[in-house]
Amino acid sequence: MMSAASWPSEAPRSAPVRQRSQGSVRVTAAASGGRTHLEGLAESGSLRARMPRVSDGVEAVLVNTAGGVACGDYFSISAEAGEGARLTLATPAAEKVYRSDGAVSRIDVHLTAQAGAVLHWLPQETILFDEARLARSYLVELAPDARFLSFEAVVCGRAARGEAMAGGLVSDQWRVRRGGELVYADAFRLAGPISSLLARPAIARGAAAFATCLYVAPDAESRLEEARDLLAGATCEAGASAWNGLLVVRWLAADIET
């Protein structure tokens, strides 16, 4: 019989360190002579910004070269529209968040609009695969007369493949400050059997896709009836409310196409 033993000086073997994606982008836009121009752009890791030519303002298209988000990835996005500037941030395609073995992927977004600026946050939808785990935080800082528009949509599971989100985690936290004062705070979190939770009448009545549009501007409240008129023909559950210089519209649907 043969036997083997390790020397006392040998350290026990550990699991290899997982290589995960990280990336950051910072975009700043400034106005001069009645036109907006790109003032600064910093990129690192697997997050990039592409700047298509547009006739009005600056548009930054955020590209995740990693091809998706999974298992503890971390991304940071920062953007600032200077005084009187117009800046739009968008994405070229839906962001896919893949199955995780337990680690939570995180995305932090910090947006700033100075006096008289217009800032748009308009990414395409986020698709959560079964057992995906994602936590996002948004901090928006606005001058009193700045205008901010955002639209965020989330899809739980892949209906086209017959995949529900049986488990996982999704957490979104929004904070909006205007003139230094907190005017909007919204937190959403689901953990565990996501599809079962969404099936509950008090949560989503079986809807797997949900979206929120937020408009913060001096004329936001005056747009409420216009928003409700547009929602009158909606084929899914939808509602709009306005208060304190904000307009919020929400949708619940079976899928993103509804």
Amino acid at 131: E
Query: Does any domain span residue 247?
Result: yes
CA distance 126 to 188: 15
Q: How many domains does the chain have?
A: 1
Percent of the chain predicted with pLDDT > 70: 92
Query: Does any domain span residue 14?
Result: no
Give the end-to-end CA distance of the chain in Å, rounded to a whole number.
Answer: 69
Query: Does any domain span residue 218?
Result: yes
pLDDT at residue 14, rounded to an integer: 52
Cβ partners under 8 Å of residue 213, min gap 6? 149, 150, 151, 247, 248, 249, 250
Determine the structural domain holding residue 88 and report its residue range. 22-253
Cβ partners under 8 Å of residue 46, min gap 6? 21, 22, 23, 64, 65, 66
Query: Does any domain span residue 15?
Result: no
Q: The whole model's pTM is what?
A: 0.90
pLDDT at residue 55, rounded to an integer: 81
Q: What is the 3-state secondary structure (H, E, C) of the chain?
A: CCCCCCCCCCCCCCCCCCCCCEEEEEEEEEEECCEEEEEEEEEEECEEEECCCCCCCEEEEEEECCCCECCCCEEEEEEEECCCCEEEEECCCCEEECCCCCCCEEEEEEEEECCCCEEEEECCCEEECCCCEEEEEEEEEECCCCEEEEEEEEEECEHHHCECCCCEEEEEEEEEEECCEEEEEEEEEEEECHHHHHCCCCCCCCCCEEEEEEEECCCCHHHHHHHHHHHCCCCCEEEEEEECCEEEEEEEECCCCC
pLDDT at residue 19, rounded to an integer: 65
Residue 162: count of CB within 10 angstroms of its CB: 7
Q: pLDDT for 63-112, tens place per residue?
A: 999 999 999 999 999 999 999 999 999 999 999 999 999 999 999 999 99
Contact assessment for residue 29 and residue 87, using Cβ atoms and an 8 Å cutoff: yes
Q: pLDDT for 181-196, tens place per residue?
A: 999 999 999 999 999 9
CA distance 255 to 258: 6
Query: Does any domain span residue 58?
Result: yes
Assign residue 152 a region: left if phi > 0, alpha if psi is -120 to 50, beta otherwise?
beta
Query: Does any domain span residue 234?
Result: yes
Amino acid at 247: L
Query: Does any domain span residue 214?
Result: yes
Gyration radius of the chain's alpha carbons: 21
- Kindly indicate the confidence band of residue 13, based on its pLDDT and cuts at 50, 70 and 90: low
Average pLDDT of the segment spanning 143-164: 93
- Kindly indicate the confidence band of residue 1, based on its pLDDT and cuts at 50, 70 and 90: very low
Q: pLDDT for 187-240, tens place per residue?
A: 999 999 999 999 999 999 999 999 999 999 999 999 999 999 999 989 999 999
Query: Does any domain span residue 8?
Result: no
pLDDT of 3 strictly over 80: no
